[in-house]
C-alpha cells in the first residue's frame, strides 16, 4: 500500500489542520470528520485505511466510536488524546485501538505512528492461514509450537511462548496489561500484573540477547507492543 487514505477525526480545528497539513506534505490522502457520528459515517462510506481519532469529541465518546468501527472493521485506529490519564488510553486500547498519541505531539511522532500502522495493515492482511510469523531474526512457528532466533530454537517456558504468540499475532499493536493477563491467566489481579512483568522480562532476555534488535517495546502503565521490522 503506497498511499493509504487516512481518516482524521478531531473537533479542534487547530489540531486537525496540523495533522492534515502534515499528511498532505507527506503525500498521504485524507478525509476529515469533526464529530463521532461523522467519523462512523466516513469510516463506512469512504473506506479509509487508517484512522486518527481524538478521544474527546462533542457528540460521542471516542471509545464508543472505536467499538462501533470494530464491529465491522480491523482498520488500524490511532487514538489522539489530550488527556494525560493512562486510563483513557487503556480503555481505548481495550476497545480495539491499535496505538495512541498524546497531545501535544510532534510531526515526527505522528509520521512514525503512521508507518507502524501501515506495517500493521500488512500483518492483518497476511494473518489468515499464516502458520509461521517472521520478524527480523525472530521466527514463531505456530503449527509446531516453537520459536527460534537466528535459526536456533528458543527454550521458552509455556507462559513465555504464549506471551510471544499474543504479541506476534498483533505485531504493531499496543496490547494492554489487562488484555495480556486475561488471555494468559483468565484474570487481571495485581498479582497477575506482577507475574506478567516477570515473564515479560525473562522472555525479552531470551529474544533480545546478543541482538541489537529490540522486539518488544514497553509502554509504562499501559502495556507492550511487538515492533515489526520493515
Ligand atoms: Ca477534542
* Contact predicate 51/6, CB 8 Å: yes
Pair 173, 116 in one domain: no
Q: What is the dihedral of CA 188, 192, 193, 195, to 10 degrees?
A: -160
Secondary structure letter of residue 204 according to DSSP: H
Number of CB atoms found within 10 A of residue 204's CB? 18
Q: Are residues 179 and 199 in the same domain?
A: yes
Residue range of the domain that includes 50: 5-125
Report the separation in Å between the CA atom of 54 and the middle of ligand 1, taken as the mean of its atom positions: 6
For residue 55, the CA-to-ligand 1 centroid distance in Å is 7
> Tens place of pLDDT for every residue, the chain, 230 residues?
567 999 999 999 999 999 999 999 999 999 999 999 999 999 999 999 999 999 999 999 999 999 999 999 999 999 998 767 778 899 999 999 999 999 999 999 999 999 999 988 887 776 656 789 999 999 999 989 999 999 999 999 999 999 999 999 999 999 999 999 999 999 989 899 999 999 999 999 999 986 678 999 999 999 999 998 76
Q: How many CA atoms lie within 13 A of 225 on its CB side?
A: 20
State the pLDDT at residue 127. 60
Spacing, Cα 64 to ligand 1 middle (Å): 14
Please say which residue of 88, 105, 125 terminates a domain.
Answer: 125
CB 10 within 8 A of CB 80: yes
Per-residue pLDDT tens digits for 41-97? 999 999 999 999 999 999 999 999 999 999 999 999 999 987 677 788 999 999 999
User: Which CATH number does the domain housing residue 183 bear?
Assistant: 1.10.10.10
Supply the CATH number for residue 49's domain.
3.40.50.2300
**Assigned C-alpha cell, 188:** 487481571
Q: Is the N-terminal amide bond of 104 cis, ω within 30° of 0?
A: yes
Considering the domain architecture, whether residues 109 and 144 belong to the same structural domain is answered as no
List b or e across 167-187, with b for residues whose CB sees 16 or more CB atoms inside 10 angstroms: bbbbbbbbbbbbbbbeebeee
Claim to verify: residue 189 and residue 116 sit in the same structural domain: no
Q: How far is the CA of 114 from the centre of ligand 1 (A)?
A: 20
C-alpha 49 to ligand 1 mean position (Å): 22
Final residue belonging to a domain, choices 80, 105, 125 = 125
Residues 121 and 135 in one domain: no
**Residue 87 Cα distances to 40, 76, 91, 119, 182, angstroms:** 23, 20, 6, 26, 17
Centre of ligand 1 from the C-alpha of residue 83, in Å: 10
Give 34 Cα–ligand 1 centroid separation in angstroms: 9
94 and 159 inside one domain:
no
User: Which residue among 125, 142, 171 closes a domain?
Assistant: 125
Domain match, 121 and 136 both:
no
Give me ligand 1 centre to Cα 94, in Å: 20
In terms of domains, do 111 and 27 share one?
yes
Query: How far, in Å, from the CA of 48 to the mean position of ligand 1?
Result: 20
- According to DSSP, the residues that pair with 7 across neighbouring strands are 31, 51
35 CA → ligand 1 middle, Å? 9
Q: pTM for this structure? A: 0.86
Dist. CA 11–CA 25, nearest whole Å: 21
> How many structural domains compose the chain?
2
Rounded to the nearest angstrom, the distance between the alpha carbon of 82 and the centre of ligand 1 is: 8
Q: Which distant-in-sequence residues (6+ apart) come within 8 Å of 73 by Cβ?
A: 43
Alpha helices by DSSP H, listed for the chain, are 13-25, 36-45, 62-70, 86-94, 107-126, 158-169, 177-185, 190-208
Amino acid at each position: 500500500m503506497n498511499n493509504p487514505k487516512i481518516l482524521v477525526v478531531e473537533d479542534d480545528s487547530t489540531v486537525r489542520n496540523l495533522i492534515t497539513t502534515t499528511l498532505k506534505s507527506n503525500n498521504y490522502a485524507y478525509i476529515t470528520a469533526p464529530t463521532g457520528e461523522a467519523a462512523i459515517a466516513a469510516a463506512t462510506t469512504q473506506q479509509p485505511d487508517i484512522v486518527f481519532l481524538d478521544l474527546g469529541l462533542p457528540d460521542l465518546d471516542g471509545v464508543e466510536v472505536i467499538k462501533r468501527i470494530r464491529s465491522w472493521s480491523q482498520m488500524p485506529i490511532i487514538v489522539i488524546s489530550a488527556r494525560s490519564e493512562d486510563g483513557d488510553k487503556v480503555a481505548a486500547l481495550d476497545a480495539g485501538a491499535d496505538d495512541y498519541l498524546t497531545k501535544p505531539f510532534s510531526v515526527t511522532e505522528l509520521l512514525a505512528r503512521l508507518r507502524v500502522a501501515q506495517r500493521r495493515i500488512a500483518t492483518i492482511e497476511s494473518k489468515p492461514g499464516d502458520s509461521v510469523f517472521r520478524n527480523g531474526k525472530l521466527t514463531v512457528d505456530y503449527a509446531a509450537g516453537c520459536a527460534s532466533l537466528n535459526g536456533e530454537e528458543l527454550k521458552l517456558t509455556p507462559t513465555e511462548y504464549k506471551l510471544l504468540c499474543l504479541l506476534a499475532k498483533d505485531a504493531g499493536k499496543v496490547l494492554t496489561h489487562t488484555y495480556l493477563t486475561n488471555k494468559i491467566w483468565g484474570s487481571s489481579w495485581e498479582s497477575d500484573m506482577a507475574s506478567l512483568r516477570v515473564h515479560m522480562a525473562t522472555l525479552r532476555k531470551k529474544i533480545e540477547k546478543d541482538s541489537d534488535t529490540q522486539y518488544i517495546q514497553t509502554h509504562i502503565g499501559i502495556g507492550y507492543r511487538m515492533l515489526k521490522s520493515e
